[in-house]
Each structure stands twice: as structure tokens, then as C-alpha cells.
Structure 1
Amino acid sequence: MKLLYFIVFLVCAFCCSTASAEKPEWAVALVNTKVHAFASSDSSIIHELSIGDRLLIVERDVSGTWVRDRDSGWVLTSTTAFLRHLEKVRSWRGPKSIEIENGDFSGTYQFRRNGSFTLTSAGNDGADEYSGHLFKKGLVVFAKKSGEPDFGDVFVWNGASFCWTTDSKQCSK
């Protein structure tokens, strides 16, 4: 009889764990965001994310108010946007170009009024040219290359400055 209870326990534990497991989903910080140790604003703050930082969401709290990043901790849902909720830019009134550089990589984005772009890049592998489209949520703008499933470079645009989000923010002139 103990064996039967043990088997039932294992089956229930397996079903519950798979039912609550979520498929990880990419999101981005829409504002500078405090990362908490637990899903509560009273819990200790582990560190802070900058606007444009990416998160891999692996869990939500029961109320849906908090999400947990795989690597950092818990953040408020209202401070993030899931990549699937970004809006395609159909009318671009921002800068026409921006030059970016990071280590051995350098590139120039040329933006068109319809929200499309061309990226000409140079690195250790030579020069390449990519095209794609811009997506936006709040102040965060993503450059999604054609044919690639994930969003590429992240920019922050507040109307006055347009900056590429890396460790050293690089802004258009």
C-alpha cells in the first residue's frame, strides 16, 4: 500500500511540475528596473537593470504582477515588455543613421522612413550587409534582421537622443 501511495505521489508531482513550467520567453526592460530576490517589493534588491537590458523570463508569480529572469531575480511585469508584444515601426522620424562599435565589430545602420534599415558591418570575418525592420515599445527600439528569429541590436530613443545599448552607450550625433 505504501508503494501505491508513493507512485501516486510521484505521478502528481510530475503532473504539477510540468503544468506549472513555462516556456522561457525573452523580454526587455522598458525603464531602469530594480531586480528583487523574491516576488515582493519588500524583498531585498539584488541589482538594477538598465533600460533596454534583456531578460529571459522563466516564471511568473500567481498574480501575474512579477516575472522571474533566469539569471537575475524578480522584476515587476509593468517594467518589462515581451518581444512578441513589440510594435512594428511603420513611420520612422528618428535619425537617418548611427555608427556603432564594440571591440572588433563596427557597423553603420541606415534607417528609412518606413521603419526598415540596412546594416553594413565590418569585423574579423570581413564586411557584411543586412536588412531588416525596426520594432518599438516605449523608448526601446529593436533592429530585427530579416530571416532571423530573434531581435538584434537594442536602441533607446527619447526623442532627443538615439543610443545603442551596450556597456558604453553610443548615441547618434
Structure 2
Amino acid sequence: MRVYGVTGWKNSGKTTLVERLVGEITGRGLTVSTVKHAHHATDIDQPGRDSHRHRQAGARQVLLATPHRWALMEELRGAPEPPLEDLLTRLSPVDLVLVEGYKSAAHPKIEAHRAATGRGLLAPDNPTIRAVASDAPVETALPRFDLDDIAGIADFILSEVHP
């Protein structure tokens, strides 16, 4: 599977960019999956639900299945967070996996940047960043896209993963 990342500081537009890229790239007939990394504790399950009760009781894995989707939740129970490479092996094959976050992982990335964050670019210190998508002019030797140029960003990513 081809893997490409979207990284950037908090509130830089990463999630919106990934969402828009998924729509653009799937609209071109390709299959896309995503991986979202969160640094904070988050829960896709809800207290009081049966699946939550299973996890609370000590289940290592809980698979929740409905007529519309299924989700597999795995409790680490003190084990270290698995590396991205291990998590990617759990995905079904697709044309492209877009990864949000994982700033220091080895896969190629585009940096989402918003001037309003008041933060500088990650790109100068991160050789895995291949381009910058920003809502304002930025100094960079890398290819630069307007954050709203979704077709152009998609073209760039697809040219990177399908040379």
C-alpha cells in the first residue's frame, strides 16, 4: 500500500485537508483509507454501551458490528502504543493510505500550515515533509500549495506515490 501523510501543528487544518483529499482522490476512482493519530486519550466507544462494558470488564479486543460498519477496538492494557508500521498491516489493501499526524514517522508528508497558529513551519527540521500547504505565503524551498488547492495537492501526492 502507498502511504502519504499530512502533518502540522495543532489547528493547522490537517483534518480538513485529509477530509478534502479523501473526497478528491476517491472521486478519481481510487480507494483510500486513513489513519488518525491522537496524542490525547480519546474513546470511540460510549460509557454504558454493551461494547464499552465489555472493555471495562477486561476484554483485550472488542469487535462491534452493525449492518453499516464494524470497528475493532484493542485495549493496550499498559503495553506500548504500536508503531504506525504495525498498525498499517491491520488495514485492508487500498490504493492510498492517508496518515494524519505521526510527525516523526518515516513516510513522506505534506505539511498543513495556517498563519493563525502563530507557529513556524515543521518542514525545515523534518526531511520527510515534501511540500507545504498554507493559507499564507511562507518561505520554503519545497513545493508550496494554497491550503484550498485540493486538486493540486492531490495531484502532487499521487505523483509522489505513483512515480
Normalized per residue, which structure has more helix? 2
Larger radius of gyration: 1
Task: Identify the TM-score tier after normalising by the shorter chain.
Answer: under 0.3
Larger RCO of the pair (alpha carbons < 8 Å, separation 6+): 2
**Normalised by the size of structure 2, how large is the TM-score?**
0.23
